[in-house]
Structure 1
Amino acid sequence: MRLPAHRASSAVLAGAYPFLAPGPVEVGVPVGRDVLGGGVFCFDPWSLYEAGELTNPNVLLAGVIGQGKSSLAKSLALRSIAAGRVVYVPGDPKGEWAIVSDAVGGTVLRLGGGSGTRLNPLDVAGTDGTVGRRARLLAAVAAVTLHRSLTAAEQGALDAGLAQAARAVGRPTIRQVVEALTAPDRQRARAEGVLVEDRVADGRELVHGLRRLVSGDLAGMFDAPSTHQIDPSAPMVVLDVSALGTDDDALAVATTCAAGWLEGALASSSAKRWVIYDEAWRLLRHPELVRRMQAQWKLSRAYGIANLLVIHRLSDLDAVGAAGSESRALAEGLLADCSTRIVYRQEPDQLATAAAALGLTEPERQLLPLLPRGTGLWKLPHRTHVVRHVLTAVEAPLVDTDVAMREGR
């Protein structure tokens, strides 16, 4: 019997005939088994960037709960440390990273809950772009607390208040900026053509918003000089914000402030380092935080940073704004700044969003709801792999956050 010939693209045939799939990535730390091509799949964003395989070192990791994305993030951190990299987690909302940090001799700073830890997110003196970084951070935090973007007048008042506080003390705190907003410099205001009464009025709502960090539920964490300094030799630094509970706005503000403090503390470091944003969907709900993240990510290559953004599903990006809006464009820009996209199993109702956001082929789209636990689709600019993550016996108790559920505890 003679069967009719069948024509298809190599992208389609690669799903049925593994020998058409690209060979495994052999540069970097081992991740697991390449399901289609066979062999060990390795990954290191810095090495791949230097080889021209990636346009930037940033990574997006998406997957529904219980599919092993958290285990992948943690084991990638552990293995990267063994390869000489450094790992920072600016906001650990569940307190899951402390055990990982302790295992490698890292540092864990706990915020809130009576810990007494204070971090000054404006403590970035002596680095390039200090004024701009401080202003962007304060504007982002104020926008979250006010639940809206700042007006031009408010931004002007904030810039003036920040400058006034910096002139007074060099390294200002948020508390001192609030005081400057309340009592602006009359002569400076006049020199800028603004009545001091108008400047007070322009900053009034900013004061109400920022007071959450001075006398509200976030007081005592980011409103005074830092009580800790980062040990540059520490392989991992984790900022544990689990004591803040489940208030999404509070966690988003705390993570942003903590990230700002880390950025200032690490500006002079030349180490290749991961910055891991766990449960990042909380940050994506706020356009101003996304705007600030995007600005910082643009500097990743200059500072040797690879950002890892961990979310549940690609539709988390929809929370920023409607299609075509400026807010949505910001989120899509953040995604575009991730050359590596790792997608674990997605529910059927998420397939269209995932395919559109990542530019998936039809076979790749059909594969997503079928992926078993611990197996993900790794999409790089010039190649796609299906990788089964392999945990070692030493890593498993440190990184597997779902073991208690599976054992019925």
Structure 2
Amino acid sequence: MNLRMVGCTHRASGVDLRQQLAFGSEQTSDALARWRERFPTAEFALLSTCNRVELYAAGAGPVEAPETDELVDALLSYHGVPTKRVEGQLLSLHQREAVAHLYRVAASLDSMVVGEPQILAQVKQAYQRSVDSGAAGPALHDLFQSALRAARRVYNETGLHKHRVSIPSVAIADFASRVFERFDDKHVLVIGAGEMAEETIRYLQDAGATRIHVVNRSPERALELAAAWKGVAVPWERLWDELAAADLVIGATGAAEPIVKAQRFERVVAPLRQQRPLFILDLAVPRNFEPEVGEQLGVYLYSLDDLALACERNRDARAAELPAAEQIIVAETDAFMAAAHRRITGPVISGLRRNLEEPKVAELERLFKKLPDLDERSRAEIVQFADRLVNKLLHPPLESLRDASQEGPPHGLLDALRRLFRLEE
């Protein structure tokens, strides 16, 4: 197998370049079709997310996949990006390095937030699009299925994914879950419509929330965010009514001072709630809620400082799991490469067996014709002897091939065996 990967990631390229090279779903299908037409003997898969754009190409033989410069040209030319634009920002990997990289990506070891769960679904989606487009073949089937297996091992055998480190994920999974056992019946109010608000909504919906109201000073942005997540945009003037009705509130505006003052909350909101539990996540800097709001009966108020401390503890716990995760990646990569190298030896092994089996059968027939009076037990004993002899003769070259396959493709040994035993290609 010949495997190559070229692309850009958050580690080496800026967001502007990643956006220039990004592919939507329809673009991905179109690009895969174009590349298959340009390189008909190769297989392709394209992984495009906000943090990376990676093109994988594989071929069954050493020359059936495009060279690195050809892949770079294919990737850049689709969007008309000049080569000078990407100097020093493209990643190029070959064979084992490409395998290990995909495994680390799928297991979320190469993510901006290590251990985040979204990337595995994105890798699955990239693989499925390659399959649906007819761009995946045996080599990429083996590669991506083994990558998913490696990711599952990391998930199941380490605690890497148990420790959330992003503010919104900790807010919902580690804090809000202490107050509410379920979210599908809760009235959620999101104050603000920026990135933090949107990411928190994503985690809320993953937890089951469906009744999401968005309040923002810009009604257009509130409508846009609410529509994207099937929520309801509410006019800013209804903020205090929404606070009275809500079960869970997210504060994520860029206001220069608190927008919810304790005195007004006590006077306007508290009487209507009648001590019904209200969980407030104040994710804004400066704060959207005065700290004294949290002193009201039934109110659970957590600030960004509270969440940041929990995130830091989780980062330390997650870091302790990284060595075990990396060991799994190395073991899975070793196993994949050894299996790939062994597959190369298959035709030669078959040829060796055939070259010994054919004369064995011929000589047994000749012997049995000369000894027609042999009983069945004796004939069986002679056949068994011949089989054992063939296996013993095959053992040294097969053992050598197996050992050589652990280090890399044993092309030199294979060529020597072909010449020595006059095996056909």
TM above 0.5, one fold? Answer: no
**What range is the shorter-chain TM-score in?**
under 0.3
Report the structure, 1 or 2, having the larger helix content: 2
Highest RCO, 1 vs 2 (Cα 8 Å, sep ≥ 6): 1
Q: TM-score, normalised by structure 2?
A: 0.25
Q: TM-score, normalised by structure 1?
A: 0.25
